[in-house]
Chain A
């Protein structure tokens, strides 16, 4: 079955600390992988995506993610978290057919001053 798992429901980090959000997927075809961020009461904004090529991808707001096929993972990282990064983060997987994404349950990030 196709699925995305984000093992951490809620993470709290101190401002300035590094961050890693985990994402594991189960997908039969070549995966197209995405990370989205959602601020409270808002829609979803794409942080970054991976289709092929370099397995380390850079996104907006200083985020990066690394695709590891052997581990079926696509973890999101940021070297230094800012208070404005507090939000919910979603990992998603799709394919080259478009229109269909499978989302993880989300990880809520809190940032301590």
Chain B
């Protein structure tokens, strides 16, 4: 199993550009989430999904869109990048069944800089 994979690892955008951060998992987890990590603020939930076709907002959703057409993929779209979106982005997945239920598995992260 590859676990949770994220691409790209690093990205530099100019203000106003759009892009999609990719996230995929091969564990057949029903739950997937996006977090951003900023110094001194821990991780904050952007959007999450409880299954294909179902998404909901987290704590800091503004400026981001998500969709989940398959169980495996959960892309995060920045519609018009702003310097305030400079951050490290983590994707995570979890399941509510099995011996490791509710444990979130994290991807390696995407470091995004918006200039």
Let me know if A43 and B102 touch, CB within 8 A: no
Which residues of chain A are within 8 angstroms of B104 by Cβ–Cβ distance?
34, 46, 101
Which residues of chain B are within 8 angstroms of A98 by Cβ–Cβ distance?
30-31, 50, 94-96, 102
Which of B30, B58, B102 contacts A32, CB < 8 Å? B102
Q: Mark B60-99, 1 if CB is under 8 A from A, else 0.
A: 0000000000000000000000000000001010111000
Which residues of chain A are within 8 angstroms of B43 by Cβ–Cβ distance?
44, 90, 92, 101, 103
Q: Which of B32, B43, B50, B90 counts the most A-chain CB atoms under 10 A from its CB? A: B43
Cα distance A92–B44 in the bound complex, in angstroms: 11
Let me know if B42 and A103 touch, CB within 8 A: yes
The answer, yes or no, to whether A99 is at the interface (CB within 8 Å) is: yes
CB-nearest residue of chain B to A45 = B106
For chains A and B in complex, what number of residue pairs have CB atoms within 8 angstroms? 65
Which residues of chain B are within 8 angstroms of A4 by Cβ–Cβ distance?
42
**How many A residues touch the partner, as a band?**
20 to 34
User: Which residues in chain A, 84-113, are within 8 Å of chain B measured between CB atoms?
Assistant: 90, 92, 94, 96-106
The answer, yes or no, to whether A70 is at the interface (CB within 8 Å) is: no
Which residues of chain A are within 8 angstroms of B48 by Cβ–Cβ distance?
99-100
The answer, yes or no, to whether A71 is at the interface (CB within 8 Å) is: no
Q: Which of B30, B49, B95, B106 counts the most A-chain CB atoms under 10 A from its CB? A: B106
Let me know if B103 and A103 touch, CB within 8 A: no
* 23 pairs from A and B in contact (CB 8 Å cutoff): A43-B90, A43-B106, A44-B90, A49-B102, A96-B96, A97-B50, A98-B94, A98-B96, A99-B31, A99-B33, A99-B48, A99-B49, A99-B50, A100-B33, A101-B35, A101-B45, A101-B92, A102-B45, A103-B35, A103-B42, A103-B43, A104-B42, A105-B41
Interface, chain A (partner B; CB < 8 A): 4, 6, 9, 32, 34, 36, 42-46, 49, 51, 90, 92, 94, 96-106
Q: Which 5 A-B pairs have the closest CB atoms?
A: A99-B31, A103-B42, A98-B31, A99-B48, A103-B43
